[in-house]
Amino acid sequence: MLRYVCIRHVCMRPQQRFRDVVSRSALSSSKRAAPSTNTRPSVSHAVPVLRTHSPVASSYMRFLSTLAASVIGTLLALGLVVFFFVFFAFALSLSADQTPTVQSGSVLTVPLEGDVPERVTDDPFQQAFGQGPSYDLRDLQASLGKAGADDRIEAVWLRMKGLSAGWATLEEIRQAVVEARENGVPVIASSDEFGMTEKGYFVASAADSVFTAPQSSFEYNGFGTTVAFFDGALERLEIEPQLIRAGEYKSAGEPFVRSDLSEPNREQLTALLETTNDRFLTTIAEARGQSVEALDRLAREDAFLSSSTAVDEGLVDGLRYEDEVRDRLRDLVEATVSNDLSTVSVSDYEQVPAEEAGQSVGTGRVDIVYAEGNIATGDPEQTPGPGPKTLGSTSLAGALETARTSASTEGVVVRVNSPGGSAAASEAMWRAVKRTAAEKPVIVSMGNLAASGGYYLAAGADSIVADPMTTTGSIGVFGLIPNAEGFFEDKLGITFDG
C-alpha cells in the first residue's frame, strides 16, 4: 500500500518528499554560508541519494534465477533416473539364475536365524529391500539333500543364531540333517556367542558334534504358555463383547469374555505342551544317548544352564569359539592352514542343479500350491517381507484351477500353514480343493498350523499328512461382536440417534 504525506498543501509520495527535503536543506545551507578569511579547510557533507533498481537489471536477475532452478531440477531428475536404472539392474541381477561355482572340499554353511519361512518371494524388488532369510524351507531341504550326493561338499556347518521357527518346521529341518549324515556328510553345529535355545538345540542335536561358545547361555528348562485376558479392561471401558461360538474347544474368543482359562481350553493347551515336551525329550535322548528321565529331571531342576554345565551333562560336545570351529572343519575337509576354508551358503547352493550335484531326478510334474496365512475372501494385498500373511480364497482357487487344467501336471500337493479365518472363504477353498481332487491326485501336507478353516480346506483332498508337531483341529466357528454404547456415551460423550 502506498502512503501519501501532505506538505504545504501538496500531496506527494514519501520518496518524493525525501528528495524535496534534501534539496531544500542543501539550498538553505548554501545561503547561510558567508565568505570567510579563515584558511581552515571546509568540511563537505554527504548528501543522501536514493537509488532505484533498473527494470532491465531486475529482469536479468529473474532470468538467471529461473535458469539456475531449471538446471538444478534437470540434474536432480537425471540423478533419479540413473538411480532407478542402477537399482533396476541390481534387482534383475538378484533374480537372475546364476549357478555358483562349488569348489572341491567345500563346506555347506547353513545360518539358522529367526524364522524359516515356507517360501521366499520371487519379486526382485522385495528381495532387494526385504528382511529375513534369503532361503525358505524347501530350499534348505533341497540343499541338504543335494549335499549328500555332491562329492564336492565335504561337510555341513549349522550356524545357530537364535532359531525361532515353528516346531513342525524344525522337525523337517532336523530330518533333512539326519538324512545328510546318513549319506556320509559330516555335520557340525555351533552357536558362537548367540547361545543355544531349545529350538536351536533340537535341530543341532542331529549333528555329529555340537559346540557352543564359552560363557554363552544354554536354554533348557521345559515349555509353557501364557494367555492374556482382556475382560477386566473392557469392563472398565464399558465395552461389552458378545461371543457366539459353536464347539466346546473353540477358545479363540475366550480372552475377551473371561479372566482365566476355561477347562476345555486348559485341557487342550496342556495336551499341546505335553506333546511338544515328549517329542523334544525323546528326540534328544536318542541323539545324545541319554534317558528321557534324566533329561526331564535336568529341565525341572535347573532353570537356566550355562554352556559349561551343558558340556558336563553331555548335551554339548565342547566349548569353542568360531575360529576354533573353523579349525575343526578344516581338519574334516583336510585343508591346509595356509588355505582358507572353502564355503558355500544355502542361498547360493540351492541354485545348483540337482544333476550337477549328482542327485537323480524323477520324471513327471507335481505342482505345489501354498495355502499360508489368515484366511480371507478375495485376493488381498500381501505385505512385503516377513510378517503375517493373508490367504485369499480367489488366489488359492486360481492356483488350483491352473494345476487342474494343466496337461503337464500329474498331481498336486497343497501345503497348508494357516490358523483359519473367514468361514465363507474356507468353504470356497474347500470346494476348489475338492474339484481338483476329482480330476487329479491331491495330497495336503500340513506345516506348523492347520487349524479351523485351515483344516476345513484340507478336508477336500484325497489324503492328509501332518508332522508329529503340527497343530491342527480347532473344529468349530465363533463370532465376536463388541457393544461399545457405554464407552461412547459415558467415556467419550458421543451419542447416536437415527
User: Residue 161: is its pLDDT beyond 50?
Assistant: yes
Give the position of cell 512385503. 384
User: What is the mean pLDDT of the segment spanning 200-222?
Assistant: 94
Q: Which of 392, 391, 415 is nearest to 403 (CA)?
A: 415
User: Cell digits for 51?
Assistant: 537509488
Lowest-confidence segment of 2-16, 78-92, 396-410 by average pLDDT: 2-16
pLDDT at 132: 57
User: Residue 497: is its pLDDT beyond 70?
Assistant: yes
Choose between 296 and 1: higher pLDDT.
Answer: 296
User: Cell digits for 365?
Assistant: 510334474
pLDDT at 72: 86
pLDDT at 21: 42
Output the CATH code of domain 366-467.
Answer: 3.90.226.10
Q: Per residue in 126-138, pLDDT tens? A: 555 555 568 999 9
What DSSP line would sit under 256-305, residue for residue?
GT-SS--HHHHHHHHHHHHHHHHHHHHHHHHHHT--HHHHHHHHHH-SSE
Q: How far apart are CA 141 and CA 138, in angstroms?
A: 5
User: Cell digits for 388?
Assistant: 503375517
Choose between 73 and 225: higher pLDDT.
Answer: 225
- 409: CB partners within 8 A, 6+ apart: 365, 366, 367, 403, 440
Q: How far apart are CA 438 and CA 45, in angstroms?
A: 110
User: What is the mean pLDDT of the segment spanning 248-257?
Assistant: 92
pLDDT at 89: 58
Q: How far apart are CA 247 and CA 253, in angstroms?
A: 12
Lowest-confidence segment of 2-16, 101-115, 342-356 by average pLDDT: 2-16
Cα torsion 370, 374, 377, 379: sign: negative
Q: How far apart are CA 203 and CA 187, in angstroms?
A: 11
Any alpha helices (H) in 372-416, and if so which ranges? Answer: 393-405
Choose between 92 and 263: higher pLDDT.
Answer: 263
Q: How far apart are CA 149 and CA 151, in angstroms?
A: 6
pLDDT at 305: 82
CB-hemisphere CA count at 13 Å for 483? 8
pLDDT at 476: 84
User: Cell digits for 488?
Assistant: 461412547
Q: How far apart are CA 386 and CA 384, in angstroms?
A: 7
User: Residue 409: is its pLDDT beyond 70?
Assistant: yes
Confidence band (pLDDT; 50, 70, 90) for 124? Answer: low
- 247: CB partners within 8 A, 6+ apart: 474, 475, 476, 477, 478
Q: How far apart are CA 368 and CA 466, in angstroms?
A: 16
User: Cell digits for 17?
Assistant: 518528499
pLDDT at 247: 85
Q: How far apart are CA 188 and CA 171, in angstroms?
A: 18
Strand order in the sheet with 187-190: 318-319, 209-212, 187-190, 153-163, 106-114, 343-345
User: Residue 95: is its pLDDT beyond 70?
Assistant: no
User: Residue 43: is its pLDDT beyond 90?
Assistant: no
Confidence band (pLDDT; 50, 70, 90) for 361? Answer: confident
Give the number of other CB atoms < 10 A from CB of residue 413. 17
Tell me if the pTM is above 0.85.
no
DSSP, collapsed to helix, strand or coil, labels residue 87 as: helix
DSSP 421: B
User: What is the mean pLDDT of the segment spanning 265-270?
Assistant: 95
DSSP, collapsed to helix, strand or coil, labels residue 213 as: coil
Confidence band (pLDDT; 50, 70, 90) for 42? Answer: very low
Q: pLDDT averaged over the chain?
A: 84
Any alpha helices (H) in 313-470, and if so which ranges? Answer: 322-332, 346-349, 393-405, 423-437, 453-458
| CATH topology for the 100-122+132-221+302-361 domain | 2-enoyl-CoA Hydratase; Chain A, domain 1 (3.90.226)
User: What is the mean pLDDT of the segment spanning 51-59?
Assistant: 61
User: Residue 172: is its pLDDT beyond 70?
Assistant: yes
pLDDT at 125: 53
Confidence band (pLDDT; 50, 70, 90) for 284? Answer: very high
DSSP 194: G
Q: Per residue in 421-463, pLDDT tens? A: 999 999 999 999 999 999 999 999 999 999 999 999 999 999 9
